[in-house]
């Protein structure tokens, strides 16, 4: 259900949006390990489908079409796909809020999104024109974001606050394993991007099966859904920064940190190829991604439960944001293979802790239980919008503003701003 931005709009007339309906009630019972494993696997598949193409296959496909214009093609394709995700994530989150299927609110969208994303990845593998690359990558983003919006909303639906740091850490581990899987696919196929896309498609489709079999997704009764009205539906996407300032600050900090992170990695394949002169850039991406992944998983699974135990989120978010910014500085001033190795390690240390704890923080500033899917979708725009902004900034930095050093310094400064604004959040310690 998508409601106007007013406390009085809660379905049962209360001011906080609570409900006795199982689908809407604040969760108190801890989720099982099997449910968490399903959540983690969905994150693996979605991120393999996202980052295998972004980090390796779109770049290789761009080289095969027009090697001199590869940066422009990569930026165009990824920016158009990210623009689709800006709309898709909150839209499908909002639609899942209103879904009354007997299979639950979130599960139908996880399945439908995975099927669409899989089909689009296969179609993209045959694309010999930039226009077709753009079209099918946009469809990949449409499907994968439908699944991602639904699975993200499942966390505040089913996971109690005292468990969210730990679950957030495991979800971050799943995201990282997906990124690593994409890099592994890139190295294994040895430049055969067609096969790489197929591997990503298979990973996406298979990853959702365990969650769908053990979804713990209560159905929403039809009587708890108000009649659909276009004006109210669209109005619901605006979450007033004045009325909900903590939500606004949390969104801004996540956006800035993600811009900094994306700037660091968006041209990694080209950085290794053209600046460092690494003999096998795809293999180099795998090595760096592997180091990054190990560090992300280690810090995510440690920082998330630690923040649950101490009952604090902001100190972890501030510290990890500063560490992420440090990685940009390393890459800027040490553009050699050892510098790239160090930068990947530092970036992983910071981003792992950030992903786990910031996710838990975000779930604690959502305005209403009734619109968790839509609100998490709006939050996820802070993940998607950097995919539009960062490629454009990266292209300008590399082509017109002085090259890769400016690119990485820009990443560091923007990441530090994300750390600064976390202090504005008042309702979470």
CATH code of the domain containing 210: 1.20.1250.20
pLDDT at 2 over 60: no
Q: What percent of the chain lies above the pLDDT cut of 90?
A: 54
pLDDT at 386 over 80: yes
- Give a yes or no: residue 4 inside a domain: no
Given phi > 0 = left and psi -120 to 50 = alpha, else beta, which region is 425? beta
- Give a yes or no: residue 286 inside a domain: yes
DSSP code for 274: I
- Give a yes or no: residue 228 inside a domain: no
Instruction: Give the residue-averaged pLDDT of 326-350.
Output: 94
What SS3 state is found at 53? helix
Total domain count, the chain: 1
pLDDT at 19 (0 to 100): 53
CA geometry: angle 280, 283, 284, nearest 5 deg: 85
7-16, 239-248, 259-268, 287-296 — which is least confidently predicted?
7-16
pLDDT at 172 (0 to 100): 87
Domain with 415, as residue range(s), is 28-215+233-424
Please name which of 183, 199, 195, 198 lies closest in space to residue 282, comparing C-alpha atoms: 183
Residue 51's pLDDT band (cuts 50, 70, 90): confident
pLDDT at 106 over 80: yes
pLDDT at 197 (0 to 100): 97
115-129, 134-148, 280-294, 333-347 — which is least confidently predicted?
280-294
- Give a yes or no: residue 83 inside a domain: yes
CA 46 to chain centre: 9
pLDDT at 123 over 80: yes
Instruction: Give the residue-averaged pLDDT of 104-115.
Output: 96
pLDDT at 381 (0 to 100): 87
97-106, 323-332, 378-387 — which is least confidently predicted?
378-387
pLDDT at 391 over 50: yes
pLDDT at 9 (0 to 100): 43
- Give a yes or no: residue 281 inside a domain: yes
Q: How far apart are CA 46 and CA 181, in angstroms?
A: 11
Instruction: Give the residue-averaged pLDDT of 71-79.
Output: 88
Q: 22 or 133: whose pLDDT is higher?
A: 133
State the pTM of this model: 0.80
pLDDT at 99 (0 to 100): 93
pLDDT at 11 over 80: no
- Give a yes or no: residue 125 inside a domain: yes
- Give a yes or no: residue 13 inside a domain: no
pLDDT at 20 (0 to 100): 56
* Model pLDDT for residues 216-229, shown as the tens digit of each residue: 899 999 888 888 88
Q: State phi, psi for 335 to the nearest 5 degrees.
A: -80, 55
pLDDT at 36 (0 to 100): 95
pLDDT at 280 over 80: yes
Q: What percent of the chain lies above the pLDDT cut of 70?
A: 95
The tokens describing 187, both together, are: 């190295």
Average pLDDT of the residues of the chain: 88
Please name which of 395, 390, 394, 387 lies closest in space to residue 85, comparing C-alpha atoms: 387
pLDDT at 16 over 50: no
pLDDT at 6 over 60: no
pLDDT at 10 (0 to 100): 38
- Give a yes or no: residue 380 inside a domain: yes
pLDDT at 186 over 70: yes
């Amino acid at each position: 259900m998508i409601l106007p931005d007013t406390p009085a709009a809660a379905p049962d007339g209360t001011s906080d949006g609570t409900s006795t309906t199982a689908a809407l009630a604040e969760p108190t019972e801890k989720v099982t390990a099997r449910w968490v494993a399903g959540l983690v696997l969905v994150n693996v598949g979605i991120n393999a489908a996202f980052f295998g193409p972004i980090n390796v296959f779109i770049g290789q496909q761009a080289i095969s079409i027009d090697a001199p214009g590869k940066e422009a093609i990569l930026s165009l394709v990824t920016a158009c796909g990210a623009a689709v995700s800006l709309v898709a994530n909150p839209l499908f989150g909002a639609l899942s809020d209103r879904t009354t299927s007997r299979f639950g609110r979130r599960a139908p969208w996880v399945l439908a999104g995975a099927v669409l994303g899989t089909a689009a990845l296969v179609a993209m593998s045959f694309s010999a024109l930039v226009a077709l690359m753009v079209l099918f990558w946009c469809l990949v983003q449409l499907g994968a974001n439908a699944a991602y919006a639904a699975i993200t909303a499942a966390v505040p639906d089913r996971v109690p606050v005292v468990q969210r740091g730990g679950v957030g850490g495991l979800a971050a581990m799943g995201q990282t394993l997906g990124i690593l899987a994409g890099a592994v696919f890139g190295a294994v196929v040895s430049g055969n991007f067609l096969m790489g896309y197929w591997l990503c498609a298979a990973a996406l489709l298979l990853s959702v099966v365990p969650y769908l079999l053990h979804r713990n997704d209560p159905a929403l009764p039809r009587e708890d859904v108000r009649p659909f009205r276009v004006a109210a539906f669209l109005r619901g996407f605006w979450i007033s920064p004045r009325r909900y300032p903590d939500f606004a600050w949390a969104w801004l900090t996540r956006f800035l940190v993600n811009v900094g992170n994306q700037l660091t990695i968006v041209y990694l394949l080209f950085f290794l190829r053209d600046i460092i002169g690494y003999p096998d850039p795809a293999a180099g991406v795998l090595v760096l991604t592997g180091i990054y992944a190990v560090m992300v998983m280690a810090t995510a699974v440690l920082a998330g439960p630690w923040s649950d135990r101490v009952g604090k989120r902001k100190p972890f978010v501030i510290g990890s944001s500063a560490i992420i910014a440090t990685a940009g500085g390393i890459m800027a001033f040490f553009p050699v293979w050892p510098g790239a190795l160090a930068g990947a390690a530092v970036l992983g240390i910071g981003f792992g802790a950030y992903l786990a704890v910031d996710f838990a923080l975000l779930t604690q500033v959502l305005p209403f239980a009734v619109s968790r899917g839509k609100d998490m979708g709006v939050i996820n725009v802070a993940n998607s919008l950097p995919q539009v902004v960062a490629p454009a900034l990266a292209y300008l930095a590399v082509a017109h503003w002085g090259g890769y050093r400016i690119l990485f310094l820009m990443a560091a400064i923007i990441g530090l701003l994300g750390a600064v604004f976390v202090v504005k959040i008042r309702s979470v310690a």
